[in-house]
Structure 1
Amino acid sequence: MAQAPGDIEALIALMARLPGLGPRSARRAVLHMLKKRAVVMDPLAQALAKVAATARDCTVCGNISDHDLCPICADPRRATGSVCVVEDVSDLWAMERAGGFKGRYHVLGGTLSALDSVGPDSLRIPQLVHRVEEEGVTEVILALNATVEGQTTAHYIAEALAPSGVEVSALAQGVPMGGELDYLDDGTIAAALAARRRL
């Protein structure tokens, strides 16, 4: 089997690391980009370079932005009394697509996992407790994936926030056990948010 030049093989190997792309899909994507260099590859390379240079975590919620504050945290119209806690930025984006939440977010950066040595200080849990104390938050909605790790993290957060007296609720109907927010449709997420329950 003929091999592509070294630089192209390196690009294929990098592309194959992306979620949803294996070696064959990566090879097809790279060949497509090479055929459409002017309209696909060059703009993609420029966009990648720009995002690599400007992307950063929002200093308040942990969302990805090109400024210190993401557009959600910078928007004065977003309700400041409620904070929706999500595992990752992809979950935040899924919640925003559903359009049912008008408050602000807090991205944990993962879930508690003893097997992976991920403890509370490895996540943005201390920052969440600080936000609740400093920002006058009245409700924390735990929109964590319905996995063992997600539920363990939810219970830990509920206990950590108990002394503050803040109301803590969680997504309810529509989110199946083992389900991940990024893979759910918008209607399911909206229904789960509307039917959240107190922990």
Structure 2
Amino acid sequence: MYEGAVQELIDEFGRLPGIGPKSAQRIAFHILEADREDMNRLADAIRVVKDKVKFCSICFNVTEQETCSICRDPKRDETVLCVVEESKDVMAVERTRSFRGRYHVLGGSINPIGGVGPDQLHIRELLGRLNDEKIQEIIIATDPNLEGEATATYLGRLLSTIGIRVTRLASGLPVGGDLEYADEVTLGRAFEGRRTLNS
């Protein structure tokens, strides 16, 4: 253990997802050795993102305005809605250039062990959108892991009585993976081969 501020910095980095103790220590020492101007820019960028960025009032994607650029775009297909877990998944889907509809970000996935149930997600808001908008198809694009599959199954059952076509991304995505890490071709093929969850 290091003294004072250095250990506090290591501890804070260690709390970030995907950062283990050794990575946290490497990052902390990089900051200590880096140019002060560079680190001030980093600190400013963190402050600005925390001050300016919020969630879209319609789809819950990240934005600096009341609504995100996708929700404001009149050229997007209003009849197709892609449901994803996180904002980073929106960007993964956008990179494929296979989807021109709109999005709904759940804010996570159902994970009983982690204490996340349907009430902690933006599912109520999703149902509200179905009343207000011209949606004809919902594409469930949750991660192909245990939590993502549980979320997709829950949504499929919930939406089966509404009379809107519900589809799930097709194979091509590895089970246990994250959409964020899928390449554009694989994710694009998954969109093309999506399957209906309700009949």
TM-score (norm 1): 0.90
Query: In 2, are the aligned partners of 1:34 and 1:41 still within 8 Å (CA)?
Result: no
C-alpha deviations, 1:59-97, integer Å up to 9, x for none? Answer: 111111111211111222221111100112222221122
State the partner residue of 1:49: 47
The 5 A counterparts of 1:25-44 are 25-44=23-42
State the partner residue of 1:102: 100
Q: Distance in 2 between matches of 1:73 and 1:95?
A: 15
1:143 to 120, 127, 141: 141
Q: Distance in 2 between matches of 1:158 and 1:33?
A: 47
C-alpha deviations, 1:30-65, integer Å up to 9, x for none? Answer: 322333334420100111111111111111111111
Q: Which runs of 5+ in 1 are unaligned?
A: none
Q: Report the AA paired with residue 194 of structure 1.
A: E
TM-score (norm 2): 0.90
Q: Distance in 1 between matches of 2:98 and 2:146?
A: 25
Q: Distance in 1 between matches of 2:26 and 2:146?
A: 37
State the partner residue of 2:159: 161
Q: Which runs of 5+ in 2 are unaligned?
A: none
The 5 A counterparts of 1:52-67 are 52-67=50-65
How far residue 27 of structure 1 moved from its aligned partner, in angstroms, is 2.3
The 5 A counterparts of 1:62-77 are 62-77=60-75
Q: Report the AA paired with residue 23 of structure 1.
A: P
- What percent of counterpart residues are identical? 41
Q: Report the AA paired with residue 98 of structure 1.
A: T
Name the count of aligned residue pairs. Answer: 197
C-alpha deviations, 1:170-197, integer Å up to 9, x for none? Answer: 1002112222212221211111011111
